[in-house]
Amino acid sequence: MNSKGLKLAYFFAILNAVIIGFSFLFTKMALQNAQPLDTLTYRFAASFIVLSIPVAFGWVKLNFRGKPLYKALLLASMYPLGFFTLQTFGLQHATSAEGGILYAFTPVVTMLLASIFLKEATTILQKLSIFLSVFGVVFIFIMKGSSINLSNMTGIFMLFLTCVAFAGYSVLARSLSKQFSPAEITYFMLGIGFVVFLVVSLTDHATSGTLDRFFAPLASGTFIVSILFLGIVSSLVTALTANYILSKMEASKMSVFTNLSTIVSMAAGAMFLGEEVTVYHLIGSVLIIAGVVGTNRLGRKKASESIRFAEKIEA
């Protein structure tokens, strides 16, 4: 692989952070019209149906024959199933601020899992850079007056497990990139997510006699726009690009980009919701960006290893 492929991976990593940052805004809008589980069902229905169109016409080629589907199933159980289920129920017992603080630790968990299972090595300066980006996010939340309430241990534990689920996905997806194409991994993940969330949501409505509520949100134009963004852009595009990134870049390097979404969500809140941006927001943002840059620039010795890994995949 040449440096062009690596540059594209960096571009996609930044794009993903921007999309995830805006997804909080659209999720808030969607949840005004539907329950969390129904929102997830419609979200993955949109992403799976849209990706199925080029697959059906043969524009996107998929070949699962002879490939370890049990590993892909394990991947889907971590993300989207595990991640979104834990996040949804975790936020019922804890605040969104606590969720934001705990989600910031995802790069640290990813770095640990990647070092154990992928034998990814990070320099001392890279480790410090990862912690710097995490501290930037935590600093913003603390200065806003947020903290972790230990009486919400059930919710906090579930939200911490979302970090583990996403970190596990990042590590396993990088490993599976040798056997599956990004499109194959993405199609499998979105398909499993759609089927499982649909079955659970319809079963829940059927047992409680509220099937009409499942279809009611479709009367709202705001809900449909939100779902199209969450399904096509926030789920489909980010899944495709994330799986591409993990075929070119170490999991620990990619994961630190997730903290950039905090900056984007602040900017989106300021632009569209009139939320205030203060000096501590700017300080935290500088720390996050410095951490992301440091993680990806202070391990130059590892770059050739990343390129060799990608060349093996392409061979």
pLDDT in tens, 47-69: 999 999 999 999 999 999 999 99
Which of the two residues, 14 and 302, has the higher pLDDT score?
Answer: 14
pLDDT the model gives residue 301: 52
pLDDT the model gives residue 291: 94
pLDDT in tens, 142-196: 898 877 877 778 888 998 999 999 999 999 999 998 899 999 999 999 999 999 9
User: CA-to-CA distance for 156 and 142, rounded, in angstroms?
Assistant: 16
Query: Is the preceding omega at residue 80 within 30 degrees of 0, hence cis?
Result: yes
* Count of domains observed in the chain: 1
Task: Say which residue the tokens 């840059």 belong to.
Answer: 293
- Give the domain extent around 307: 3-314
Could you tell me the pLDDT band of residue 79, with boundaries at 50, 70 and 90?
very high
pLDDT in tens, 249-263: 899 899 999 999 889
What φ, ψ does residue 148 adopt, rounded to 5°? Answer: -100, 120
| Average confidence score pLDDT of the chain | 89
Task: State the burial class of residue 89 (Cβ atoms within 10 Å of its Cβ: 0-12, 13-18, 19+).
Answer: middle
Could you tell me the pLDDT band of residue 308, with boundaries at 50, 70 and 90?
low
pLDDT(314) > 60: no
